[in-house]
Amino acid sequence: MSSKLTELFLMTRPPNSFMTGISVLLTYIMVNNYRVSDYITLFIGFVTGYLVSATAMLINDVVDIKVDKINKPWKPLPRGVFSSGFIIRISLSFIIISIAINILVSISAFITVIIFSFIAYIYSFLRRYWWSHFLVSISTTAPFIYGYVLAGAPQDKVLLITLFSIVVFLINSAREFVKSIADYEGDRKIGYSTIATKYGKRYAAIMSMIFGVIGSFIAIIIGVLGIASIYYLILLTIASILFIQANYRVLNKTSRDTCIKAKKQMLIAMLIAIIGFSLASL
């Protein structure tokens, strides 16, 4: 039983889901100028961020079971540790909990969670369409928009949140395109339409570079224009350099190995960017 619970926990992809929950907390705290008066709301924000992200991961594993048998046969569902029906029931319970607890916060938070939960849930079922990459990217803006709503949506932070959400959308799209190159063989065999399988690996690499450069440029401009602090500017500049460097490697060589390494470096860059964002009001 304990080993199964561990496997289930790992299926929620704790690093990703934990980062989502932390991003909600950091956004809430930053928007409130580092003053926290409502720890219950903060707790609800973290739990919601984790569970909604975990739901997306679980459903993705259910829908991707065939392709995972090719690309990632070590995962629990391809190995038969759990049934797809069981994982669907768990994911639905996560969604219900996430939506229900936000009734305690505000109508705005309640509606925001419903919208982003719906997007997170339907994405995996739309994998046959290459533009589903963008649904993932919309989902990654959720912690920042939701955290902003939790904090009462103050007008003086609306420009920062809007621009940074655009940055997150562009940067995550760039990483999604790299991921599509890494997963090319399995996706092609199973019939998934991704930017790489539809338009080719080279095209995916070029579009990743374009999205990465534009996203990085906007991220830095936010700091240059004084919309965010100097600490934000320094960290986002570092993150942008790391991200574009990873993009450049993929542009030069679209091998699976190169893309996997690039994805990891991009994730590190995104973590640095989140830390920088959390310091934007200092």
Name which of 157, 154, 189, 151 is nearest 28 in CA terms: 151
Amino acid 275: pLDDT: 95
* CA–CA gap between residue 123 and residue 281 (Å, rounded): 33
Place of tokens 């993150």: 239
Considering the entire predicted model, what is its pTM?
0.89
Domains of the chain: 1-153 (1.10.357.140), 155-282 (1.20.120.1780)
Name which of 42, 16, 39 is nearest 28 in CA terms: 42
Name which of 61, 207, 245 is nearest 131 in CA terms: 207
CA–CA distances in Å: residue 216 to residues 139, 174, 188: 19, 11, 30
Task: Cite the DSSP H helix spans in the chain.
Answer: 2-11, 14-31, 39-63, 65-71, 76-79, 84-101, 107-122, 132-140, 142-150, 158-182, 184-190, 195-199, 201-224, 230-252, 256-278
Amino acid 123: pLDDT: 81
pLDDT, tens digit (0-9, with 9 covering 90-100), for 145-169: 999 999 999 999 999 999 999 999 9
pLDDT, tens digit (0-9, with 9 covering 90-100), for 58-93: 998 888 887 777 777 788 888 888 888 999 999 999
Q: How far is residue 49 CA from its own chain's centroid? A: 11
| Both structure tokens of 247 | 């993009």
* CA–CA gap between residue 136 and residue 159 (Å, rounded): 23
Place of tokens 């003053």: 35
Digitized pLDDT (tens) for each residue of the chain, 282 residues in all:
568 888 888 899 998 899 899 999 999 999 999 988 889 999 999 999 999 999 999 998 888 887 777 777 788 888 888 888 999 999 999 999 999 999 999 999 999 999 999 998 888 778 778 888 999 899 999 999 999 999 999 999 999 999 999 999 999 999 999 999 998 887 888 778 899 999 999 999 999 999 999 999 999 999 999 999 999 999 999 999 999 999 999 999 999 999 999 999 999 999 999 999 999 999
Task: Cite the DSSP H helix spans in 34-83.
Answer: 39-63, 65-71, 76-79
Place of tokens 């705290």: 29
- Amino acid at the residue 63: V
* CA–CA gap between residue 269 and residue 263 (Å, rounded): 10
Sign of CA dihedral 264, 270, 271, 272: positive
CA–CA distances in Å: residue 3 to residues 10, 67, 94: 10, 24, 21
